[in-house]
């Protein structure tokens, strides 16, 4: 997180940092390719959060 987010932006204020962090976390969790799950974004993986069927 430090290298991908905190050190890549210059924040104008605390509200600016919070806004950018919220957008970054959304992208990180739902759209970014995750190597631990085969390179697929988490939003495209079945059975997330332990819902096994």
Q: pTM score > 0.75 for this model?
A: no
For the four alpha carbons of 48, 51, 52 and 53, in that order, the dihedral sign comes to negative
**Residue 43: DSSP 8-state:** G
- The whole-angstrom separation of Cα 20 and Cα 6 is 10
pLDDT digits (tens, 9 = 90+) for 16-41: 999 999 988 888 877 777 766 666 66
Q: What stretch of H or E contains 20?
A: helix 14-30
Amino acid 53: pLDDT: 52
Span between the terminal Cα atoms of the chain, in Å: 32
């Amino acid at each position: 997180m430090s290298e991908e987010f905190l050190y890549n932006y210059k924040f104008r204020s605390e509200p600016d940092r919070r806004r950018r962090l919220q957008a970054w976390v959304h992208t990180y969790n739902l759209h970014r390719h995750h190597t631990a799950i085969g390179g697929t974004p988490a939003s495209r993986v079945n059975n997330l959060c332990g819902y096994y069927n």
